Amino acid sequence: MDPVKAKYLDEAIGSVSELDEFSVVNGISSHYVGLAREDGEVRINANAEGLVHIALSMLKLAKQGVGAHVHFDESGIVDKGEFQLIITKCEADWEA
């Protein structure tokens, strides 16, 4: 990633991180994220706080190297899930 994009990514991470901190009061998080399969589709269901938390996770992942990944499961980001979802950073075909 070029330095200009990296600078903007760092600024976005800082801003979203501050916003995400408002979701935790007295050590209790108000994030809600659920994973479900419905009619052959994967659904990510989340409240506003959960969506901000997902956005922060994706911004942080964008900053990491190829192969870095985030687990969406009940031991991490997800409150209720029928399965585990893993999002991995990779190169696009034209970048390889």
Segment 10-54, tens digit of pLDDT: 999 999 999 999 999 998 889 999 999 989 899 999 999 999 999
Say how many domains are in the chain. 1
For the chain, what is the HEC assignment? Answer: CCHHHHHHHHHHHHHHHHHHHCCEECCEECCCEEEEEECCEEEEEECHHHHHHHHHHHHHHHHCCCCCEEEECCCCCCCEECCCEEEECCCCHHHC
Q: How confident is the model at residue 95 (pLDDT cuts 50, 70, 90)?
A: confident
For residue 27, the enclosing domain spans: 3-95
Integer Cα distance of 95 and 93 in angstroms: 5
Q: Each residue of 10-19: pLDDT tens digit?
A: 999 999 999 9
Specify the pLDDT at position 78.
84
Specify the pLDDT at position 50.
93
